[in-house]
Structures are given as C-alpha cells and as structure tokens.
Structure 1
Amino acid sequence: MDQPSILGINRTQDGTISIFDGGKHVVSIHKERLTKRKHHWGRLGDMKLYKEHIAAMNRPFDLVVECWSADNEIERKEEYHEELRTVLDLKPNARIVEISHHYSHLYSAYPPSGFETCAVMIIDSVGSPVEHIKYDYPGKEGKTGLFEVASYYYCHAGEITCIGKQLHDRDPENPQGLGNFYYKLTECLFKGEGNEGKVMGLAAYGNLDALDLPELDVQDGEVFIPKAWQELFKSTEYNFKDEIKTFQEKADLAAKAQDVFEKALIKIALWLSEKTGTKNIAYAGGCALNCVANTKVLEQGYDLFIPPAPHDGGTSVGCAIYGAVECFKIKNEYDWRFDYLGPDVKLEEITELVKNYPELSIEKPEDLIETCANHIYWGKILCVFQSNSEFGPRALGNRSIVADTRYAVNKFWINTFIKGREWFRPIAPFVLEEDVSEYFDFKGRTPFMLFTAFLNKKYIDKFPTIEHVDHSARIQTVIKDDNEFIYSLIKNFKEKTGVGIIANTSFNGKNETMVETLTDALNCFSKNAIHHLVVPPYIISKKTEVINPLQLSSYKV
C-alpha cells in the first residue's frame, strides 16, 4: 500500500519545507538556500519557489501540516491555503492542518529522540499566541493576548502531556523568558537577525567579575529578567560596530550574560527532570543552538537529545512527523541521526558547468582522498560539495570549507579573506569519533556541532585554527557511516600528520547563505580565496594560483 505523502511547512523565520512519505523522510530545505537571503521568513509565493527547485514538490499530497508563530501572517491564512490549492497537486480528500509553534518544535524533538520516556523543553523568544494553542496545558483557561516563550512536556510511549508553559505579553519594556533574555542581549551587541553565535564567540573573551549583574530569576521553569538587565538592554553603548565601549567591555557583557543564561538553563533542566522523574531530555527551540550552554546541561548527567535543526527551520520536520504520527497513525520510526536531508544533486553535471568558468580547470584524480589530504597538508584551503545538503544551520561536510588546524593563519585567512567576519569568530573542527577523547575532554558522539569541548592539556595551543581563546571548540565527531568522504579524508590526513582533526566551516562567502547548487558552489569558489573545490570524484582548481596562507609566515605557529 502506498504511503501518504505529507508536506510540512514552517511559515515563520528560517522558512522551510519537509516532505515525508508516511514516516519516511524524502527531502527538507531552507528557503534561504534558494533565495540567498539569510533567515528568510515563510511568505506567500513560497510554494511556487519550492516547486520550481524541488522535484518532490510535484507529487500529489495527501496532507499539508503547517506551523505559524507570532507574526500577523496567520491573518492571511486563507490566501496561503488558496496558494496551496492552486500551486500544489493536492489529492481530492487532502487536508490542511495547522499546529502551534512549540508543538511543531516538540514533534521535531521527541519522536526522533529514540526515547520511550523523556521530558521535553522548548525554549525560544516567542511562539504562538495562546488563542492558537489547541491542546490543554496548566492554567490555560481564560488566558488571552499572551504568547508562549517556553513549553515543557512529559512524553511516554507516544503519549504527550504539557506540564507547563511560560507566557508573555510581548511588552518590549518588560521582556521575560530565557529566549527573550538572549534575544535582547544579542540586539544590544549586534543588530540584525541570527547573531546569537557572535555573542557566544565573544563571551569567551570576557571577565565574569567585571559586571555586577544578578542571576536570572527561575521559578518552575519560568525565567524572569531582573530590572538591572532590562535597563542595560536599553543601552546603545554596547553596539559592537560603535566605539563607545571597548572590545573588552563588550566581551565582559557577553560573558556575564552567557554565564547567567547557562545557570538558568541548568535550573530549568533540574526542575524538569525532578518533575517528570526522568533524566532523558529532548530539547528544541532557538535557545538549543547555544552549544556552550548545551554542554553545561550535558555535564549535569542528563541524556540530552537535540535535533540537528532545533531552531525554527526544524519545525517543518516536526510538522511532517506530526502528520504521520497523529493524522495517519503511522508508528514513529524516524530517527533524526542523519542530517543530509537536502535534494539529490547530479554531481556529474559539474563537468559541463565548469566549462562556463574559463578561469577554472577540472580533473578526476586517481585517488581523490590522497590528493585532497595532500592539499590540506600543503596548507591549501578546500571547499567540499556533496549531494544532499545539510538541513539546519551547521555545515556538516556536504557544504563545508576545510583546512589544516595546526596553523593560526588558516583561521585568519578564512575569517578575513573568505567569510569576511569578525576576527574573534571560532572555526569548528571535524574530529574522528574514535579519537575525540584523545584530543578533547569529551566522550561519545556529537555529529551535529551542538556541544563544545575543551582541548586536553597536552594539545592546548597545538590547533590554533579551531581552538577558541578559552581552549574550547565546537566539535563535530565523524564516523564512516556519517560521511564517508570526510571520514576518509581525516583518516588520510592523520596518516600523514598524526592529527585526526581538520577545520570545518560553512561553504559560503561574506554575508551569504550556504551554497545549495553546483552553480552556487562554482560562483562562491571562483570569487573567493579558496584553492580547490572538491565535488567527488572531481577536483576543480584555479588556473591562476591563489597564494598559500602558509607563505604569510608571521601567522605560522
């Protein structure tokens, strides 16, 4: 019997779609990868855009599940539904189902977690208005004009119970909730969307004792922001681009705020574990991208599952899983432990496409892994493009820039000449999973770059490309089944150097989204200071050679 075809849609920030055949994943993609506009919100016209680029969108659908958030677009819901009916091939009895924002996060985290029993925490800056929440939760009756900022659940054998929510009226003069705290902090330091990672990177340079500011007030999972913090967030003096405050003063603020954020999150996890009687926790929402804080929770002894795309982008997966499990009563078997969910790419097309770039040459080496490992060993910067892009904000080896970790110049080169970003931004390492405890104070798997680890003492200052100022790194462990090319590349590099680590950052230029198509890859490679583009089994080079970073001897360690 054919499985029902399900379309999950995230209508809010970081717009995405996910297609499932029953409980089996087919494809997921971010809107920004197609429009090249970072964090692009879901809007009218999206279905035509997706249909033009994603072949699976041309199938007949049995069900569409969508989630909205706090913006006013939901008031145009009928226009969105008319678009679904006119642009897509909906079967005669197809349904369009809406679920609330935190519920979509929940279904992206609990069913794929593999836990039979667990607690779930969903924490972000804002979710759905209470009027759009259809399920029961404590204190639901009579509430209006409020929005969810945190939701907590107990899940057992597929049964879900909401055990608490924090709600907020969105008064900008009185922000509350852990997600709002970090949102306001980020706005204070870096204007614009998606800059929370900059704050995390900056925090490591700060002095925790420099600012006398209180901890956040945590009561039964609800987080309240003291007046001292609220007043500070109104200041314009900490804007990173301005020179009113020094770099150190800005770093001190980031450090203090990161510290109180971590302590509040640990208190929430403790409360939730005690209330539910389980140490299994699934965690999603924008706050779950704070990998430093995630690590502090992990260190408390919890079994913590965070999906690869815990932010709003991941909610389209949650919508599709909800459709399979709740609407079609399909037994959940989706295990989100593999994140190369993008559309198939015919890599062989690169041989024709490269002819449009007379400045480039292409070859098919007899031993591609050996060739690439040699290039990295010789100090070259490579970008890697493989089929099926990563879904979520992290480059995991299919849309990555890679380099040797042993030379500080590589971090300088990537941040300055390729990414065009702040000098203090750290670069992540790939590390062979079998070697992770050799290099880092960490055990187990972390394949999605959602945790940090400190370098073991004997390796401090040995890998400056990936070592942050506090000797930590946002690590990604790799086994052969995760990504065979990247695994083999690291293994070969280790045979040459004794080092089972290479640096990894997302394949994009300054202020760009990650590349999605082969043409994107060629365009980005050709205009940036990258030495080789790897599209297995091919390698593309520039006829005019780019300077080797190791020739900048003053940066060599």
Structure 2
Amino acid sequence: MIAQRSVRGVEVVLGLCAYTHDSAAALLVNGHLIGFAEEERLDGVKHSNAYPANAVAWLLGEAGLTANEVTTVAYNFDGRHYLPALGQLPGHLARATTRSRAIPRARSFLTVHRRNRARMRDLSRRFPFARLVPVLHHRAHALYAFLAAGVDDAAVLIVDSLGELQTTTIWHAAHRDEQPFRLCLAESVKDPASLGYAYGAVTEHLGWRRGDEEGTVMALAALGDPAHFHDLISRAIRLTTDGFTLDPQLLPLRVLSSRYRRTSLAFTAATCPPRSPDAPVEPVHADLAAALQERTEQVMLYLAGRATRLTGSGLLCLGGGVAMNCVAAGQITRAGIVDEVHIPPAPGDSGTAIGAAAAAWLDATGRPPTGIGGRCYLGPAYPDLALPVEPRPGLTVARPADPVRHLAQQLADGAIVGLFTGPLEAGPRALGNRSILASPFAPEVVDRLNSTVKFRESFRPFAPVILADKVADYVQLRQPSPFMSIAAPVTDLTRTDLPAIVHGNGTARVQTVTRTQHPFLANVLAAFGEITGHPVLINTSLNIKGKPICGTPDMALDCLAETGLDALLIEGWWVTKC
C-alpha cells in the first residue's frame, strides 16, 4: 500500500521542493504526472523558498482534488542524512586548515536537521491523511534526470552544491521491458568537496548572487584569460582518483550560514578584492571567471568519463545545479565520451519535486511513473484569457487574424515581442511559452534588449531558437537540444549573418524546435525564415533581471508596461503601447 487511500480510491502523490529555494510542486495521480509548477512563477519572488502554496493549489485544482485526498507527500530531502556530517567533526578539528570552522559547521548541520523536522510537522498539518516520504536529494535528482530523458539505459551524473551530505553522485539507471526498474548508486562524493559550492563561492566573490547568477559568471568567462589564474584554481579544485576535492585554504570549509564567507583571505590576496555588485567589471574579474569555468569544464569532463566507465552506458543524463552550465555540457557532448547527453528541463532543485514524487511511487509499486519523458510544458495555462480593450493604462489590445504571420513580420521589422502561450515551462529556460523573441540580425535590437528590456550586463549573450531540421546550418551540434541546455560552436554562416547570437567563445546556447514539440513556435520560425532567409530567432525569458519568468497574465502585462518591450502576444491577443 502506498498510503491510506483517498475517499475516491485514487493514489495521489504530491512531490515538493520547499522551504529552501526554488520551491516547486509536482502531482502524480495513479502514477501519471498531472503537472508541475515552480512557485516563483506564481508568487513573483525569484527563487522563492516558501511552501509552494500557489503551485499546490493549482495542481490539486487541475486534478479536482483536495489536500485531504493526497495519499503521499514526497519531500526532496531526507533529514536523517544531515547527521553523518557530525562524524566529520574529529577530522576537521584535527586539521589546522579546517579547525576554526569545524564546530560551527557541525552546529549548522544540526540546525538544518532540526529545521527539517519542523518542516515535516508543517507538512503533516497541511496533509493530515498523507504519508510523508523523505527522499534522498540526489536520488530525486537522478530519477527525474533519467525519466525525463525517456531512454532505457543511461549513466546518471548529478553535480550540485549540496544534497544532505552528497555533492556529486554517479548512478546507473535502466528500465527495459519485463525487467525491474533499476537505479543503482555507483559512486558518491561528499561535502566539503563540492563543485557547486566552489562555483557559487567565486560567483559571490565576483559580486553576483550565488545560487542565482552563476550563469553571468559563465558568460563573463568567455571574455577572460584562464591562464592568469589557472594554477590557483587548479589548486583550489583538485582532481582525485575518484572525483575531486577543494583546498580549504582557498575555499574554506562550508558552514550552513551566510555569515561565513566562502572564499578565504588567501584567495583574495591571490586574486582580487571582492567586487561590489555595482562596481565596474574589470579584466581581472573576467580572468578569474575564465579560470573557474575552465576548471569546471575539466572536472565535469572527468566525472562524465568516470560515469561511463563505471556504468558501461553510452548515454549520459546530467542533473543538479551544475548541469545548468551549458558550456560544460557542450564540452561533454563534443568530447565523444557518450553518444548523447540528456539534461532535463528543470535540472536544478525545483525539478526534484518531480523526482521525489517518482521515488515515492516507484518504491511503493515497483513501477516508474508515466508522463515525465520529454515533457517541459507542465504548468498553468490560460487558454480562455479575455482582455479588456485597455488591460493596463497605456496598453491597447487587438486580435490579429493570423498570429503566426503577424508575429513573424513584426519580428522581421525589428520589434521585440513577448510571447505568452500555452502551459508554463518547467525549468530556468524560456522555451517558447514564456519568451521574449527578437530578430538576430540588427545589433541595435540586442542593445535594446539588454538596456531597456532585460536590464542586464551587456556581455551576456542571447540564445537562438532554430528549426531542428535547419540547425546544422547554424551550429555544430551532434544531438537535439530541445531544452536550451547545450552551448555549441557556431558555423561560419552564423558568424557572418547572425553575429548577435554568437558569444565571445564562438558558441551559442541553442534551442532546437520541431513542429511536434511546439507547433506555434515552429510555424513562426518558418514564417520568419520565409521573410528573412533564416529560421532563427533570439529567444530569451519573459522577465527582467531580478524577477522570475512571468507565469501569469498579470505578470506578463506588467513586464510589457514596465520595460522596453514593443508588444506582447498573449494567448492570441496582440497587446501594444498606445
């Protein structure tokens, strides 16, 4: 039995990522995924750490259920696994490089353990008839990464900052007809060795928010010289026979508290002073970013190689926060280590809501859930949206007879347009349902995107969305990239005709689109290609810096009103400024 049955005899598993960051919820009914939503897209708080009340309410409403009918709540951490950190205390006290932080570290893990117990009590009150199932964090990541890929055998590599005490895990997953589902742990690296911790530490040192703006550091790296700090970062993050380790003299022992800096005085002396967020970005910052990115790619390639050797599989699934490093993912795809690399649409912690639900269902029934493979459009939709003539002061509405042709022509004429259509995407990338689209030809369009729409650093690149059957003309990509997860080298044609989508390292983080995957966006690309000769558009997320992707119509209309967007196509309505 999975839990006490609901009054209707339906098994309802609610998966949660909550109370930490990137809150989200997923719902399985009788083993099928009903939907998934990230709370930030509904409450407007980026990386929301709240209990995902809006997401849960939407999911239960979609299924026609109440909280009392939830039979199992699966949580994406297992608090019992924080306590082994206390066993590390004697070793940390014995070493001069870790002694000063040993006791604060142990206390911080105890604090998190107590908080986890309080969170479980809160969930028990919210779902009085449900069984609570804590799921090991990396197992939730691994299950989601594998099930989202829709393959029958793969190595699974999870790399993040911290899940209980694990930071890197390698798994072998298999699901073949008439054979039991298998997800076997092959290798584990534990904190304080953490690639996510190291990347976040340097991100913070460079003046950006760790846990949020690592992508900015990845973009800055293309402008720097890694040789400047190559030796230092190689010492800070050292490869070992079974993974890697961090040098606590440069990246001090983790304490689960923001009061403790993650870079040392020795690191500062060898690199640069910590940069203030509003200070200019200097060449030294780019050089440090470049060295960090270079080392991250080296470690990820090394771990990918270990994953294939330990499992013997020719496919690799990546998950965890570090899997969002699209440049490192691109390096793995080009290295020939595996035949294909699969990254789920939500590789960060929000996606563990799906993985936790999957784990609870699998453990109770012996069967994996359905409805996860290849799906990214899983959130709220507003197909019956009705707008008044003036939805906001200064905005006006029309209804084009042919939205595809109208949008393509406006983009070809240089307009920057928000697109809000269909169910909300899962994960950090806008994939055509909550996107800003623009022509890749005019440099002034890119300048306007950065300065008046996104309000972000000028060195950050814009990603292209390309018809899948034309992608070889523009990027050197060995496999599909439907979730915009892989940076690939561009072709000479792209350098010549579409320089706006080429980053400083000669790559583009591409989204490939088929008519099956997204008929409307594919038709827009085809129409734009008929007008311009290239079925390629800039695709960036429908939001501004510091705010989440617009998950609701009100958020999208606010984005139009408050930014330099020229128009918004929202469920067939064409909204412009008077």
Which TM-score bucket, shorter chain as reference?
A: 0.7 to 0.9
Q: Given the alignment of the two structures, is residue 454 of structure 1 paired with residue 454 of structure 2, yes or no?
A: no
Q: Distance in 2 between the 1:406 and 1:127 partners?
A: 43
TM-score, L = length of structure 2: 0.83
Q: Is the 8 A contact 2:334 2:478 kept in 1?
A: no
Q: Distance in 1 between the 2:467 and 2:281 partners?
A: 39
Summarize the alignment of residues 181-330 of structure 1 with structure 2, pairs less than 5 Å apart: 181-192=198-209, 193-213=211-231, 215=234, 216-226=237-247, 230=251, 233-234=267-268, 237-239=273-275, 241=277, 247-301=282-336, 302=338, 303-330=340-367
Aligned with 2:196 (options 179, 186, 189): 179
Aligned with 1:28 (options 26, 36, 39): 36
Q: CA deviation at 1:229?
A: 5.1
Query: Residue in 1 aligned with 2:88?
Result: none
Query: Residue in 2 aligned with 1:340?
Result: 377
Query: Residue in 1 aligned with 2:549?
Result: 514
Q: Deviations over 1:326-380 (max 9, x none)?
A: 22333444443120111232x332324x544242221111111111111111111
Q: Is the 8 A contact 1:223 1:264 kept in 2?
A: yes
Q: Is the 8 A contact 2:33 2:369 kept in 1?
A: no
Query: Residue in 1 aligned with 2:159?
Result: 123
Q: Distance in 1 between the 2:274 and 2:281 partners?
A: 8
Query: Residue in 1 aligned with 2:259?
Result: none
Q: Deviations over 1:455-479 (max 9, x none)?
A: 1123314223322122211100011
Q: Distance in 2 between the 1:410 and 1:56 partners?
A: 39
Q: CA deviation at 1:444?
A: 2.8
Q: CA deviation at 1:23?
A: 2.8
Q: Which amino acid aligns with 1:156?
A: A
Q: Deviations over 1:56-83 (max 9, x none)?
A: 4843212110023767455245543444
Q: Distance in 1 between the 2:453 and 2:246 partners?
A: 38
Q: Distance in 1 between the 2:404 and 2:555 partners?
A: 23
Q: Is the 8 A contact 2:124 2:132 kept in 1?
A: no
SS at match of 2:162: coil
Q: CA deviation at 1:54?
A: 6.2
Q: Is the 8 A contact 2:33 2:370 kept in 1?
A: no
C-alpha distance 212-33 of structure 1, shift in aligned 2 (>3 A): closer
Summarize the alignment of residues 472-491 of structure 1 with structure 2, pairs less than 5 Å apart: 472-491=507-526
Q: CA deviation at 1:21?
A: 1.4
SS at match of 2:330: helix
Query: Residue in 2 aligned with 1:108?
Result: 144
Q: Given the alignment of the two structures, is residue 389 of structure 1 paired with residue 424 of structure 2, yes or no?
A: yes
Q: Is the 8 A contact 1:111 1:334 kept in 2?
A: no
Query: Residue in 2 aligned with 1:155?
Result: 173
Query: Residue in 2 aligned with 1:551?
Result: none
C-alpha distance 360-500 of structure 1, shift in aligned 2 (>3 A): same
Query: Residue in 2 aligned with 1:62?
Result: 71
SS at match of 2:22: coil
Q: CA deviation at 1:539?
A: 0.9
Q: Deviations over 1:90-140 (max 9, x none)?
A: 5x4x31111121111111112333333222211111111xxxxxxxxxxxx
C-alpha distance 52-431 of structure 1, shift in aligned 2 (>3 A): closer
Q: Is the 8 A contact 1:262 1:296 kept in 2?
A: yes
C-alpha distance 511-270 of structure 1, shift in aligned 2 (>3 A): same
Q: CA deviation at 1:264?
A: 1.2
Q: Deviations over 1:252-283 (max 9, x none)?
A: 11111111111111111112211222222221
Query: Residue in 1 aligned with 2:134?
Result: 98
In structure 2, the gaps of 5 or more residues are 1-7, 83-108, 176-180, 252-263
Q: CA deviation at 1:85?
A: 4.3
Q: Is the 8 A contact 1:433 1:444 kept in 2?
A: no
Q: Is the 8 A contact 1:220 1:268 kept in 2?
A: no
SS at match of 2:499: coil
TM-score, L = length of structure 1: 0.86
C-alpha distance 488-246 of structure 1, shift in aligned 2 (>3 A): closer
Query: Residue in 1 aligned with 2:48?
Result: 40
Aligned with 2:385 (options 327, 349, 352): 349
Query: Residue in 2 aligned with 1:131?
Result: none
Q: Structure 1 stretch 385-394 or stretch 457-466: which is displaced more? A: 457-466
Q: Structure 1 stretch 64-73 or stretch 428-437: which is displaced more? A: 64-73
Q: Count residues with an aligned counterpart.
A: 511
Q: Which amino acid aligns with 1:421?
A: R
Summarize the alignment of residues 519-534 of structure 1 with structure 2, pairs less than 5 Å apart: 519-534=554-569
Aligned with 2:189 (options 166, 174, 181): 166
Aligned with 2:11 (options 4, 18, 26): 4
Q: CA deviation at 1:49?
A: 7.3
Q: Distance in 2 between the 1:179 and 1:53 partners?
A: 31
Q: Deviations over 1:284-318 (max 9, x none)?
A: 11110000000111112212211111111110010
C-alpha distance 125-50 of structure 1, shift in aligned 2 (>3 A): same
Q: Distance in 2 between the 1:501 and 1:183 partners?
A: 33
In structure 1, the gaps of 5 or more residues are 129-146, 171-175, 544-557
Q: Is the 8 A contact 1:399 1:515 kept in 2?
A: yes
Identical residues among aligned pairs (%): 27
Q: CA RMSD in A?
A: 2.4
SS at match of 2:335: coil
SS at match of 2:226: coil
C-alpha distance 240-488 of structure 1, shift in aligned 2 (>3 A): farther
Q: Is the 8 A contact 2:391 2:397 kept in 1?
A: no
SS at match of 1:426: coil
Query: Residue in 1 aligned with 2:87?
Result: none
Query: Residue in 2 aligned with 1:173?
Result: none
Query: Residue in 1 aligned with 2:412?
Result: 377
Q: Given the alignment of the two structures, is residue 436 of structure 1 paired with residue 471 of structure 2, yes or no?
A: yes
C-alpha distance 84-212 of structure 1, shift in aligned 2 (>3 A): closer
Q: Structure 1 stretch 307-316 or stretch 149-158: which is displaced more? A: 149-158
SS at match of 1:460: helix
Q: Distance in 2 between the 1:508 and 1:48 partners?
A: 19
Query: Residue in 1 aligned with 2:96?
Result: none
Q: CA deviation at 1:234?
A: 4.2
Q: Distance in 2 between the 1:233 and 1:482 partners?
A: 47
C-alpha distance 293-331 of structure 1, shift in aligned 2 (>3 A): closer
Q: Deviations over 1:510-548 (max 9, x none)?
A: 3211111111111111121111110232211111xxxxx
Q: CA deviation at 1:86?
A: 4.1
SS at match of 2:205: helix
C-alpha distance 30-49 of structure 1, shift in aligned 2 (>3 A): closer
Q: Which amino acid aligns with 2:35?
A: V
